[in-house]
Structure 1
């Protein structure tokens, strides 16, 4: 069996064509993706945690919630779902209402979450990441004493 030997010009054209084919792929990948530290994740190996866990977050919300006068007068009861990002340093940012009640409850829920102490950040492979969290804030209702366990049937 004999080895095929290609002239140098043919080998150069081959490698240049491979390089030109890969170059747009590498360039577009770098331009279309945010740097790793700016990505916002939803599911990670270790999700963000409020210091002290669910009992501590429940206590924080109960202690700091100021039931809005308009909500009290209208006897507004229910839950406001608040979305926010826990950054790599544990600070809360980008607080928005996903599902609100009105009568001042939405603004109060945003205030409560915005003023939270730092969380333990979420991480993947030991690397802290920005993670989106959705938290219910209750008005005129009692929080459960413990975090509900999910059943796996």
Structure 2
């Protein structure tokens, strides 16, 4: 019997029927994501992505800012549950790691498909967090700088750490929704099944405009360029504040490309 239809997949498996031993092996094996015919898929509970979902579900305020560099390897099982967590790079606070695991377990996926079967699939989550929490770079001594030059330097300074972070109009959820609605998957990357999370660094100016957009963590040239395009076209932000005054500040945003 040939040309069997692969349920739910847009890439039908063309092959002969399998015997029971082969079926049992498929059902028990944990597949790599590049082995399956259809990757796991989630609607993130109505959120734009996993970051927005975690922020909404977490009992720890601003948990995303505490996940800087966190990497998690897990499994999406044949029922679409997130299981078998392993932190390859864990947050400093064990309570944050435990809360992240709790939130990820709340996610529900359509499971991966291999041939005719829903299967277990290895899955990765990676969180850049907010690099604006990094310590400021020490400034050069100003003994020889005139008052005018000193004022100009302060005015032009770009802050890494500020009392009030810059924010997208409507909040972080609105920002991720904007990105999701305006992102166009590059055709070449889609054809080559290239996926990943591009981290974009930029400056929010004192008037809320975006400048100096660059890639902080690259995945692929086409994905990098598309991520920068979306960030550059963002509406004006609410600027950062230091001592009650609007200042220039760095900000980092992860842009996720995932084929559906």
The 3 A distance-change label for structure 1 pair 33 and 74 is farther
**CA offset digits 1:5-45 (Å, max 9, x no partner):** xxxxxxxxxxxxxxxxxxxx976133578522200001000
- Correspondence 1:112 to 2:233: no
TM-score by length of 1: 0.71
Query: Residue 220 of structure 2 is aligned with which of 94, 102, 115?
Result: 102
SS in 1 for 2:251: strand
Matched, 1:29 2:145: yes
Query: Within 1, Cα distance between the matches of 2:245 and 2:157?
Result: 13
How big is each residue's C-alpha offset from its partner over 1:50-94, in whole Å with a ceiling of 9 and x where there is no partner? Answer: 011111001100100000001101111110010000000000000
Q: 2:156 corresponds to which residue?
A: 38
Is 1:65 matched with 2:183?
A: yes
Gap regions ≥5 residues in structure 1: 1-24, 143-153
CA drift at 1:141? 6.5
Is residue 244 of structure 2 the alignment partner of residue 126 of structure 1? yes
Considering Cα pairs closer than 8 Å and 6+ residues apart, tell me whether 1 or 2 has the greater RCO.
1
In the alignment, which residue of structure 2 is the partner of 1:85? 203
Question: Which is worse superposed, 86-95 or 133-142?
Answer: 133-142
User: Counterpart in 2 of 1:137?
Assistant: 255
Residues 91-110 of structure 1: CA deviation (Å, up to 9, x unaligned): 00000001111151000011
TM-score, normalised to structure 2's length? 0.43
Which structure has the greater CA radius of gyration? 1
Q: Distance in 1 between matches of 2:175 and 2:150?
A: 37
CA contact (8 A) 1:68 1:103 kept: no
Q: CA RMSD in A?
A: 2.1
